[in-house]
Structure 1
Amino acid sequence: MAATVTDRFLRYVVIDTQSDAESPSQPSTEKQKNLGRLLVEELIGIGISDAHLDEHGYVYATIPSNTPKNNVPVICFCAHMDTAPDFSGTNVKPQVVRNYQGGDIRLPGDATQIIRVADHPVLKDLIGHDIVTSDGTTLLGADDKAGIAEIVTAAEFLIKNPEIKHGAIRILFTPDEEIGRGVDKVDLKKLGADFGYTMDGETAGTIEDESFSADAVDITLKGVAIHPGFAYGKMENAIRIAGDIIARLPKDMAPETTKDRVGFIHPTSASGVMEKAHLGFIIRDFTEEGLKTKEALLEKITQDVMESYPGSSYTFRVREQYRNMKVVLDQHPEIVEYAMEAISRAGMKPVRGSIRGGTDGSRLSFMGLPCANIFAGGHAFHSPLEFVSSQDMEKAVSTIVELAKLWEERA
C-alpha cells in the first residue's frame, strides 16, 4: 500500500492544476481537467466502470456495495484537484527525503527555502518517515492531491479485497476549491450520497467538525480627481482614502496575530487610481455573531475615514462565502464518532479539531450533504515549504477503509 499511495501522489503533483479567481469559467482553468482525465482512467483501470469527468470539471465514481445489507448509508469521499493561486504550481519537481532522521530540510531548487523544525515541530513526529517536498520553487500540491491519492488507493484496496464488506461508496473530485467555488456546480442528486468526508485536513489523526464562517467584503471608493497642480483644497485621492482605512485596521485582528478560535479581518486586495479605488477583504469567525461584529467594525472604520473626505463616497458590499459546518454536523454526531473510531482502528489517537479555514465540506454540509474533514497528512499548505509523509498518507488510506467497514458493521 505504501508505494501505491506515494506513487500516485508523485504522479498527480506534476500536473499543474492551479485555479484562477479572476476567471469566470467553471472550472476556472481548463488544465484542472488534465488531472480529472487521468483520474478517470485510473479509476476505470482499478475496476470502477462508471467513473467520468463532467463538463464542469467534476469527477464522479462509485464503488458498488458488496454487502447483503440494504440499509447501509451511501458515503461520499471527496477531495479537490486544484492548487492554490497563492504560489506557483507550474513545473512541480517533487523530492522524497527517505527515512528522515531529523533536522531542517533544505530544498534543492532554492537554497533560501528551508523547512525548519523550529517552525514545523510536527517534523519531530516524522523521524523514520519518507517525506515528500517540492524543490522549493513551487508549492507541492499535497493540498489536496494527497487526499486524492488516498481515496484512489483506498478504492483499489476495497475492490481487490471483496471480503471487506461495505455499502456503496461515492467518490467526488472537485475543481476550484481554493477559490471558494469548489461545489458551485456539483450535482448532489447524481452523487446520491447520505453524507460525506473530505480528505483535506492536516496532521495525521485529526478529524475536524468545525470550520470558520466566512464572508468577503468589497469596498469601492470614489474620490475627487483634479490636476495635482490645481489640487489645493479640492482633491480627495481615493488611493489615500484606501490607505487610511487599511491603517486603522486593528492590529490584533489580523491572521498573523490570531490563532485557535479567534477570527480576523484580512485585506486581500487593493487597487486604484486617484479617482477610484477598491479594497477586498475576507472576514472569518467561528460564529455568525462574530462575523457581523467584524463587518460592522470595518464599516465604522470606513465611515470614520470618509468624514475627512466630504466630497467622496463609498459602497460596502458583503458576500457570504461559507458557514461553520458544525451547525449541521452536530445534528448527525455519528459522522464524527465513526471517523474517530476509524482513526483509532487505523492505529492513531484521534484528535478533534477546528479548521481555521473552510473545505468543500463546509458548503456541502449546508447544501444537504453533511461532511466532516479528515486529515490528508500535508503541512505548510500554499507555500514552497509544503510537505507530506508517505506513512501519514498510508494511515489516511487505512482510515478510509476502516470507515467503510464501520458503517457496514453498524447498519
Structure 2
Amino acid sequence: MDPAVFPNLKKYKGQTIISASGDTLLGGDDKCGDSELVTFAEYLLAHPEIKHGTIRLGFTPDEEIGTGAQHFDVEDFGAEFAYTVDGEGPGKLDWGTFSAAQFELDIQGVNVHPAVAKGQMINAIQVGIDFQNSLPQDEVPEKTDGEQGFYHLMDFSGTVDNAHLAYIIRDFKRDGLEARKNLVKEKVAELNAKYGERIKLKMWDQYYNMADELAKHMEIIDLARDAYKACGLTEINEEPVRGGTDGSQLTYMGLPCPNLFAGEENMHGRYEYTVLESMWKAVDVMIKMAELNAERAK
C-alpha cells in the first residue's frame, strides 16, 4: 500500500495499521464493528460504575448483499433507537444514504446461421448493448461523486440466443430514484416495440435514503455528535454515504438507525486495512454515548 495511491494512509502515520497479506480480503467490513461491539460490552461489564440504560447488541449477516436486515425482528430486539457500527475513519457519521433499486433484463434473441441472418437474426447481445447505450453515459459510478446518482451495470452475459443484464440504480432523492426507474421502463418499452417483446424486465426497490426518516429523530444524531466531540473528534463528516447500510432498512422498519465509524478503509478489496487506534476510538465513542444517554434520561 502506497500513500501516493491511498492518501488516507498519511493520516495514520505512527499508528498501528492492520491489513491482510494481499492474497485475500482483511474483512474489516465489518469485523471491525463486531470487535468493537464486543469490546464495548466487555468494558461496560467490567466497569459497573458507568451508568447506562438498557443496551441491546445485534449482529446481522449478509449486509453486503442486502438480505440480513430484512429478517431482523425489530419488535423482539426491543430498542427505541440504534446505531450500526460499520463506517469509515474516525469522525464519520452517516445518516444519509442513497435510495436504491435493482433490475435485471432477460433478452430472448433469434439465432439463425450468419449466412442467412439478414432480416431474421436478432442478436440478444446486441440488444443488450443497445439498451446499455440508451442510458445516460455519464451517469455511472466511475463518472459521478457527491450526491450524483447513477446506473451501474454489474453483470452482462449471454449468447446470440439469449442474454442477461443486471443493474443497480442509485439516487439520493426518492423522486430521482423513481425517475431513473421510469427511464429504464421507457427504454425497455422502446426496444420491445422495435424487436417484438424480446425483453423481460424485473425490478425491485432495495432501500431508501434514511435521512428522510432520521430527520424526524435528530436527537439521536445529536447524541452521536456530542459523544464524538467529547472524545476529541471535533471535525465530524456527515456527508451522505454513497451506499447503504443495514440502518437504511432498519430505519424504515421502525428502528431509527444512523451509522457510526468503525475504522475501515479501502473496503471490499485486497488493499483493505483498518487502524487499531481508530477501532479503540469507536469503542470510546460508544461508551460516551451510553453515558450521555443515561444522563439525558434522568
Q: TM-score range by the shorter chain?
A: over 0.9
**Amino acid in structure 2 at the alignment position of 1:283:** I
**For residues 234-261 of structure 1, what are the alpha-carbon distances to aligned partners after superposition, in whole Å with 9 as ceiling and x for unaligned?**
0101111112222333231011111110
Say if 2:53 is the partner of 1:162: no
Deviates more, 1:321-330 or 1:184-193: 184-193
Distance 2:175 2:29 in 1: 30
Distance (Å, rounded) in 2 between the aligned partners of 1:123 and 1:172: 31
Aligned to 1:78: none
Decide which of 101, 105, 119 is 1:219's aligned counterpart.
Answer: 105
1:54-133 → structure 2 map (5 Å cutoff) = 115-133=1-19
Q: 2:264: which partner in 1?
A: 378
Letter in 1 for 2:217: H
Assess if the C-alpha contact under 8 Å between 1:195 and 1:369 holds in 2: yes
Q: Which residue of 2 aligns with 1:355?
A: 241
Taking the aligned partners of 1:346 and 1:227, their CA distance within structure 2 comes to: 71
Q: Bigger relative contact order, structure 1 or 2, given CA contacts below 8 A and separation 6+?
A: 2
Which residue, 180, 184, 195 being the options, matches 1:298?
A: 184
Aligned to 1:324: 209
Q: CA deviation at 1:163?
A: 0.4
Q: Which has the higher helix share?
A: 2
Distance, in Å, in 2 between the alignment partners of 1:300 and 1:267 is 17
Alignment of 1:8-407 (within 5 A): 115-306=1-192, 309-349=194-234, 350-407=236-293
Once the two structures are superposed, residues 294-318 of structure 1 have per-residue CA deviations (whole angstroms, 9 ceiling, x without a partner) of: 22233333344455x5345212222
Query: Displacement of 1:363 after TM fit?
Result: 0.1
Unaligned segments of structure 1, at least 5 residues = 1-114
State how far apart, in whole Å, the 2-side matches of 1:119 and 1:209 are: 28
What is the CA-CA distance between 1:158 and the residue it aligns to? 0.7
Decide whether the 8 Å contact of 1:213 with 1:287 is kept in 2.
yes
Distance in structure 2 (CA, Å) of the matches to 1:273 and 1:297: 26
- Aligned-pair CA distance for 1:381: 0.7
Normalised to the residue count of structure 1, the TM-score between the two structures is: 0.69
| Conserved 8 A contact 1:239-1:272 | yes
* RMSD (Å), alpha carbons: 1.5
Contact 1:242–1:277 (Cα < 8 Å) also in 2: yes
Is the contact made by 2:70 and 2:249 (CA closer than 8 Å) also made in structure 1? no
Partner SS, residue 265 of structure 1: strand
Q: Which runs of 5+ in 2 are unaligned?
A: none
Range with bigger deviation, 348-357 or 245-254: 245-254
Residues 224 and 237, structure 1, Cα contact 8 Å, conserved in 2: yes
Q: How many angstroms does 1:375 deviate by?
A: 0.5
State how far apart, in whole Å, the 2-side matches of 1:151 and 1:310 are: 55
Counterpart secondary structure, 2:3: coil
Preserved CA contact (<8 Å) 1:224 1:311: no
2:270 aligned counterpart, secondary structure: coil
Question: What is the aligned residue count?
Answer: 296
Work out whether residues 225 and 274 of structure 1, in 8 Å CA contact, stay in contact via their aligned partners in 2.
Answer: yes
1:166-214 CA distance string (max 9 Å, x none):
0111110111111110112222222111110000111211111101100
